[in-house]
Amino acid sequence: MLWVKTLHIMFVTSWFAGLFYLPRIFVNLAMVPAGSTAERERLLLMARKLYRFMAPLMLLALAFGLWLWLGYGIGSGAGWMHAKLVIVIALLGYHHACGRLLRGLAAGTDAHSHRWYRWFNEIPTIALLLTLVLVVVKPF
């Protein structure tokens, strides 16, 4: 079980690194001057590669998390686990929202400001804090 837990933590950490950094690239994309196509294309390339890299990390984090929950019964029937699962579902939505925003930025149809992206970038930080409190403190 400890190997499964270790792999789950590793893949969650790796996925979160992408969730933290991809919206930061969006901030930079929103700040690119209109005539700077080389900078825009470089940032889009970085964002696309990061998003593609994040997808398998997300799937592996989910797989090992499900293994812990369903295979070993960790958190079964506990209120903290139900709350954690709500956050995980929200993070899956956030991940897919990042993909939608990336497609909009690439197509030139996204009109969000760099300030909006700075706020959007804070969502995974709050989700991580809440998840850690639920898993470590187990308040209910």
Which domain range does residue 59 map to? Answer: 2-137
pTM for this structure? 0.94
Task: Extract the tokens encoding 31.
Answer: 């700040």
pLDDT at 38: 97
In SS3 terms, 62-121 reads as HHHHHHHHHHHCCCCCCHHHHHHHHHHHHHHHHHHHHHHHHHHHHHCCCCCCHHHHHHHC
Please report, in tens digits, the pLDDT of each residue of the chain (140 residues total).
999 999 999 999 999 999 999 999 999 999 999 889 999 999 999 999 999 999 999 999 999 999 999 998 988 889 999 999 999 999 999 999 999 999 999 999 999 999 999 999 999 999 999 999 999 999 99
Number of domains in the chain: 1
pLDDT at 69: 94
